[in-house]
Amino acid sequence: MQKGIVAIVGRPNVGKSTLFNRLCGQRKAIVEDYPGVTRDRLYGHTDWNGKEFTVIDTGGIVLGENQPFIKEIRMQAELAVEEADVIIFVVDGRDGITSTDREIADILRSKGKKIVIAANKLESATGTEIWDFYSLGLGEVIRISSEHGIGTGDLLDSVVELLPEVKENEYPNAIKVAIVGKPNVGKSSLVNNLLGEERVIVSEIAGTTRDAIDVPFFFDGQDYVLVDTAGLRKKGRIWESVERYSVIRSLRAIDEADVVLHIIDLVEGVTEQDTKIVGYAHDQGKALIFAGNKWDLIEKETGTFEKTVKDIRNKLAYATYAPITLISAITKQRILDVLELIKEVDLEAKKKVPTSRVNEIIRDAIRMQEPPTDKGIRLRIYYGLQTGSQPPKFTLFVNDPKLMHFSYERYLENRLREAFGFLGSKIMLSYKARSDTDAYEKR
C-alpha cells in the first residue's frame, strides 16, 4: 500500500532538522546553529493517528546566493517538493516574514502542493505572532517549537488530514519486486528480456527510465509485479534535469516492495552508490537479492565465478543473507534463475516457525555457548517466539535485556538462520524482561 511523503522545506537555520528529528523520534539529522549544514535529503519514517508516512528533511532554500553548495542544496529541496504529497514550510516565528520566505512561498505556490506553515521558535510567544504568516496565502499556520516539542501534535494533525488516502494493493497475490541499482546497469534490459517484449525503453544513455514503472506478469504459476525504477545517481549529478523525479520514487519503490532485486555492474564492481542503495533496503528490512549483471563482458578463467561472488559478498558484508547470482541481461544467461530466487526469498520472508522449534534451537545454542555475564550477572534466556515476518522477527524473554551483548546476539541470529533459513531476509531480534511489558529492541 502506498504511503505518503511529507517534505520539510524553508530557508536555512529555521529549525527544519530539529523538527525532522522531533517528528521521526530520532536524532538523524545534523543540527547546528549555522546555515547550510543539511546538504542532502534525509529520510525518516513515522506514523500519526494510524497513518504511516515518510518525512524528508531538505537543505534550506537560499535564493540569490553565490556560496558553495547553495545551488545543490536548493535543488535537493526542489526535488523533495516535486515528489511530496504534503509540504511543511518552516518559518522563523521570531523573525517574522522575510523576503526569502516570500520568494519560497511563490515557488511552493507554483507547485500546487498541499502546504502547512510551521511558525517555529515560539515556545514563549503569545500566539499572535503567527497571524502575519497567513498573508503568504499558503493555508494553515501552526505555532510550534521544534526544540521543545510544543505544537508538533497539532502540526501532525494538520499534515495527516492532507495526506492522500491509502491505495489498496492492485495485485494482492503478486510478489512486488523493486529492481534497483545505479544508472545504466541493465535494469530495463532485464525487465524486457524477462517479459520477452519491449515493455520498457532501453538505452545506453544513463537516465532513460525516469519514473518507477509497474509491470505485472505471470510466470510458472506465480504473479509478479516488477517495478523498474530510475537509477539512483551520484550526489554530484542528482540535480540534473533528467533526474528530477528519480531518487525519491526509487526509495518509495523499495518501501513498497516485497523483494528488492539490486543489480550490480560487474564491469565496474560494487560502488559507493551500491552500498547506499543496499543499505537503505537493509535498514527497511526488505528481502534482498544481488544480481551481478554484464557477466558476458567479464573475462573468465578457473574460479572467476566464485571470486566475483566473494568480492560482492565482502563489499556488502552487512547483507550476507542476500543470495547472489551472476547474469547477463543481454544474452539472458541465468535470468530465469532470478525469478526462482525472487519466489524463494519471498516465501522465506513470509515463513513462520513453531514456538516449540524456536525454543529448541535457543536451548541448544545456550548449551553450546553460555550467554554473557556483566559484573557477575549472567544473561538468562527463558524462552522465545517468532513475533513477525517480512522481515522475520523474534522476541526473546530474558532476565535483563541490557545483558545481551552484540556478539551473542549475532551468535543467536546465526543459529536461527542455520535452523530455519530465511534466505534473503534480515533477522530482527528484540528482548523483553520477563516481568516487563516494554521491549528493548536491538537491530
- For 315-373, write each residue's pLDDT tens digit: 999 999 999 999 999 999 999 999 999 999 999 999 999 999 999 999 999 999 999 99
Query: Is the domain of 252 the same as that of 365?
Result: no
Q: What is the pLDDT of residue 35?
A: 39
Is residue 170 in some structural domain? no
Query: Is the domain of 97 the same as that of 227?
Result: no
Distance CA 53, CA 255 (A): 11
Is residue 169 in some structural domain? no
Choose the final residue of a domain: 162, 196, 215: 162
Is residue 210 in some structural domain? yes
pLDDT by residue (tens digit) across 254-265?
888 999 999 999
Is residue 41 in some structural domain? yes
Query: Is the domain of 315 the same as that of 417?
Result: no
Query: Is the domain of 27 the same as that of 158?
Result: yes
Grid coordinates given for 90 = 518552516
Choose the final residue of a domain: 349, 382, 413: 349
Structural domain boundaries, residue 369: 355-442
Q: What is the pLDDT of residue 259?
A: 97
Q: What is the CATH number of the domain that holds 269?
A: 3.40.50.300
Distance CA 17, CA 196 (A): 47
Query: Is the domain of 332 the same as that of 363?
Result: no
Per the structure, the count of domains in the chain is 3
Choose the final residue of a domain: 128, 162, 196: 162
Closest CA to 292 of 310, 312, 318, 273: 312
Query: Is the domain of 51 the same as that of 148?
Result: yes
Query: Is the domain of 63 the same as that of 189?
Result: no
Query: Is the domain of 302 the same as that of 391?
Result: no
Closest CA to 348 of 423, 257, 415: 423
Q: What is the pLDDT of residue 380?
A: 95
Q: What is the pLDDT of residue 1?
A: 47
Q: What is the pLDDT of residue 266?
A: 96
Q: What is the pLDDT of residue 414?
A: 95
pLDDT by residue (tens digit) across 392-443?
999 999 999 999 999 999 999 999 999 999 999 999 999 999 764 444 444 4
Is residue 292 in some structural domain? yes
Is residue 168 in some structural domain? no
Query: Is the domain of 264 the same as that of 330?
Result: yes
Is residue 419 in some structural domain? yes
Is residue 380 in some structural domain? yes
Query: Is the domain of 183 the same as that of 276?
Result: yes
Distance CA 314, CA 244 (A): 33
Distance CA 432, CA 438 (A): 6
pLDDT by residue (tens digit) across 13-29?
888 888 988 888 764 44
Measured on CA atoms in the order 329, 331, 337, 343, is the torsion positive or negative? positive
Query: Is the domain of 224 the same as that of 83?
Result: no
**Is residue 42 pLDDT above 90, yes or no?**
no
Question: pTM of the entire structure?
Answer: 0.69
Provide the pairing of β-strand 324-326 with 287-293. Answer: parallel
Measured on CA atoms in the order 23, 25, 29, 32, is the torsion positive or negative? positive
Query: Is the domain of 295 the same as that of 366?
Result: no
Q: What is the CATH number of the domain that holds 395?
A: 3.30.300.20
